[in-house]
């Protein structure tokens, strides 16, 4: 997959992205709000980007050919437990140096358009209620708040806000 916007390109990860991925994924200010564990080593970064590429679930977000973040897209189960061909879950993370420039909004719009073109009619996102930046990004890209529910993470069963996006008809 390769999607190109005015400033942002979404493409498959390569092993060459591992160091840039490590640079932002090791930062707790990036990883924790994105629901990720910070990583510590280049070997871990290589494993993550290799897995993203092999499973076609995670995509590099680049600006001027420089990795600034990623978007991950996952299947969601239908009522019978089988993958729902019309529904996906999305997650993302962005390097702090890229915050505040609208890059993730542009990347999400590109990804949402591509998913809609492939018959996806619902895209879900879960975000910590304290992650105000991400909530603003979701709102600006057309996601609507649905509910708040426990994540099942940690002893306090941290809450998450749930959002959904539907293509315009």
Output Rg (C-alpha) for the chain, integer angstroms. Answer: 15
Q: What is the pLDDT of residues 50-107, one digit of tens each?
A: 999 999 999 999 999 999 999 999 999 988 999 999 999 999 999 999 999 999 999 9
Q: Is 116 helix (H, G, I), strand (E, B) or coil?
A: helix
Please give the Cα distance from 44 to 21 (Å, whole number). 10
Q: What is the pLDDT of residues 140-162, one digit of tens each?
A: 999 999 998 887 665 556 788 89
Q: What is the pLDDT of residues 3-50, one digit of tens each?
A: 999 999 999 999 999 999 999 999 999 998 888 889 999 999 999 999
Please give the Cα distance from 94 to 39 (Å, whole number). 15
pLDDT at 129 over 90: no
What is the pLDDT, as a whole number, of residue 69?
98
Model pTM above 0.75: yes
Q: Is 102 helix (H, G, I), strand (E, B) or coil?
A: coil
């Amino acid at each position: 997959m390769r999607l190109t916007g005015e400033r942002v390109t979404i493409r498959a990860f390569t092993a060459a992205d591992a160091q840039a991925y490590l640079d932002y994924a090791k930062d707790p200010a990036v990883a924790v709000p994105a629901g990720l564990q910070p990583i510590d080593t280049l070997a871990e970064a290589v494993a993550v980007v290799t897995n993203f590429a092999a499973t076609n679930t995670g995509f590099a977000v680049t600006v001027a050919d420089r990795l600034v973040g990623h978007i991950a897209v996952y299947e969601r189960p239908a009522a019978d437990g089988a993958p729902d061909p019309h529904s996906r879950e999305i997650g993302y993370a962005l390097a702090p140096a890229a915050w505040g420039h609208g890059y993730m909004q542009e990347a999400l719009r590109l990804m949402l358009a591509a998913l809609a073109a492939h018959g996806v009619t619902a895209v879900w996102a879960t975000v910590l209620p304290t992650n105000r930046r991400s909530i603003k990004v979701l709102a600006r890209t057309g996601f609507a708040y649905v509910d708040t529910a426990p994540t099942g993470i940690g002893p306090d069963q941290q809450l998450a806000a749930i959002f959904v996006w539907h293509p315009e008809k």
